[in-house]
Amino acid sequence: MNRQNTVEKEFFLEGKGLQTGEPVKVFFYPEEENRGITFIRGDLAGKPAVTLGGMSELDNDRRSKIGFGGGNYVETVEHILAALWGAGIDNVKIELDKPELPAMDGSAIQFLEAVKENGIKPQSAERQMIQIKNPIWVERKESFLGIFPSDVFKISYILEYQNKAIGKQFFSGVLDADIFLKEIAPARTFCLKEEAEALVKSGYGKGADFKNTLVMDENGPIDNILRFPNEPARHKVLDLIGDLYILGRPVKGRVIAIRSGHQLNLELVKKIKSQCINSKIQMTKSK
């Protein structure tokens, strides 16, 4: 029987925000069972907090954003949430001194390694899962994202770009902690060279560089080397895992994704949450 987990002790990481470029420290604190994952803006008056599964707002641009209300938010949460999913962390308090999580190396691996190095503490309460009982999907133009009933958590992702170095890529697999560590967590964020230039002109991507972002031209990543032949597709899977964990509990279901990104990911999260309230999805104890 799987039990809930929290972090063994307090620790912190620091880096720069991928979009803002601002230096940020993020502190991790142990939390009691059944309390969930809570983000705290330590730089704001009153230290406003929001717990996953009960956030007041969800928004996205090129990254996932959780709103506290009143214009306050935490952004680029997908990589740390994917790492927490991979580490099996159910309960933790995460306090930031800026609005954006640090980019680290552009993947989830450094977050995951930090959690493991500082210890994972088993708790008494049983893990609660979201068991998908009915098909749920969202789509937009040529993009599709759906989740279907299954006894395992499996993601199949199809990526397609006109860029020759990316082209058509595919990843499919049943995901657990070990597969995530080896096959998904090291995959870094990416963008096309022209997208990177447009982002900078728009005031975003101030913290991006060739070390934490795969900037792709027609020949491949600029001043970098791929960790996997299909690293962009694997990073899309990483983002999807992190976005789904915004629900605050692991999901058990079969995910089919075709050219989806944060926008569709969060639309699916909202739909799962809505249907969960309507009892079309069953909250179950983990087996």
Q: Please name which of 79, 81, 100, 105 lies closest in space to residue 26, comparing C-alpha atoms.
A: 100
pLDDT digit of tens for each residue in the chain (287 aa)?
Answer: 599 999 999 999 999 999 999 999 999 999 999 999 999 999 999 999 999 986 545 655 556 888 877 778 899 999 999 999 999 999 999 999 999 999 999 999 999 999 999 999 999 999 999 999 999 999 999 999 999 999 999 999 999 999 999 999 999 999 999 999 999 999 999 999 999 999 888 888 899 999 999 999 999 999 999 999 999 999 999 999 999 999 999 999 999 999 999 999 999 999 998 887 554 444 444 44
- State how many domains the chain has: 2
pLDDT for 282 equals 43
Tell me: do 107 and 188 sit in the same domain. no
Positive or negative torsion for Cα 114, 62, 159, 266: positive
CA angle 54, 67, 74 (to 5 degrees): 110
Examine the fold and report which residue of 127, 158, 191 is the final residue of a domain before the chain moves on.
127
Tell me: do 122 and 137 sit in the same domain. no
Tell me: do 87 and 182 sit in the same domain. no
Q: What is the dihedral of CA 28, 31, 35, 41, to 10 degrees?
A: -30
- The Cα-based distances of 236 to 27, 180, 239 in angstroms read 26, 13, 5
| CATH number of the domain residue 60 falls in | 3.30.230.20
Tell me: do 123 and 197 sit in the same domain. no
Tell me: do 157 and 261 sit in the same domain. yes
Q: Which residue has the tokens 């740390």?
A: 80
- Whether 101 and 26 have beta carbons less than 8 Å apart is answered as yes
Tell me: do 192 and 232 sit in the same domain. yes
What is the CB neighbour count within 10 angstroms for residue 1? 7
Domain range for 263: 129-285
User: pTM of this prediction?
Assistant: 0.94
Tell me: do 88 and 148 sit in the same domain. no
Backbone angles phi, psi at 234, to 5 degrees: -65, -35
Is 262 among the residues known to form the active site?
Answer: yes
The active-site residue out of 235, 252, 262, 273 is 262
Q: Please name which of 127, 223, 235 lies closest in space to residue 180, comparing C-alpha atoms.
A: 235
Secondary structure element (H or E) that encloses residue 194, with its range: helix 193-201
Examine the fold and report which residue of 127, 157, 175 is the final residue of a domain before the chain moves on.
127
DSSP characters over 217-244: ETTEETT---SSTTHHHHHHHHHHHHHH
